[in-house]
């Protein structure tokens, strides 16, 4: 029977060896770039707050708790437990640049953050949910296509992001339904 590691290596190699052209590499590098990546999701969040007037306190709380908790879990805890090295890049100009990550590979922080953000954004803006999930999938795919991650890294990261979103929404709803007399309440009660 084929092992998960063998399957992961096979799928990763199949994606990484897809044709690379300057245009395709640039598009995927855009989705993969760390600085642009975080600004991108904050931009979508800001757009929804400003133009869609999505100013519900739960949206703010759900979004920031989900992306923060999932990022801490992935980048500070799990990567340091599993210590999986990144795929060895072949002589591809994009991969040999100074942008090649130096931390551990499993699970993917980009996929975790993307799917954590998307889960919350899709809940509060269902009319754009498909677009959000397509963007998250492109980010995850770009990480494998450019040789930064294995397929298992991004799949696990996506599951962690969504799982954290489900957990945070459940906890926030539970806390929001409880009367919090004499303390600050999530519902904004002044008592």
Contacts of 33 (CB under 8 A, 6+ apart): 99
Listed residue (142, 5, 2) closest to 84, CA to CA: 5
Q: Is 57 a catalytic residue?
A: no
CB–CB of 74/112 below 8 Å?
A: yes
Tokens of 7: 């399957």
Cα separation of 168 and 124, whole Å?
14
CB–CB of 136/115 below 8 Å?
A: yes
Give, as one character, the DSSP assignment of residue 98.
Answer: T
Active site residue: 20, 57, 92, 110, which one? 110
Active site residues: 110, 149
């Amino acid at each position: 029977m084929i092992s998960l590691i063998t399957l992961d290596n096979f799928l990763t190699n199949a994606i990484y060896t897809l044709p690379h052209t300057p245009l395709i590499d640039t598009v995927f590098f855009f989705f993969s770039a760390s600085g642009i990546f975080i600004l991108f999701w904050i931009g979508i969040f800001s757009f929804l707050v400003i133009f869609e007037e999505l100013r519900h306190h739960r949206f703010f709380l759900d979004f920031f708790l989900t992306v923060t908790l999932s990022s801490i879990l992935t980048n500070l805890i799990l990567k340091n437990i599993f210590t999986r090295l990144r795929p060895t890049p072949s002589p591809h100009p994009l991969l040999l640049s100074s942008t090649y990550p130096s931390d551990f590979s499993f699970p993917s922080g980009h996929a975790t953050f993307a799917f954590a953000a998307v889960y919350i954004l899709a809940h509060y803006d269902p009319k754009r949910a498909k677009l959000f999930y397509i963007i998250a999938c492109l980010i995850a795919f770009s990480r494998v296509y450019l040789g930064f991650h294995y397929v298992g890294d991004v799949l696990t990261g996506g599951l962690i992001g969504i799982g954290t979103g489900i957990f945070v929404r459940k906890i926030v709803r539970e806390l929001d339904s409880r009367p919090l007399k004499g303390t600050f309440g999530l519902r904004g009660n002044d008592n």
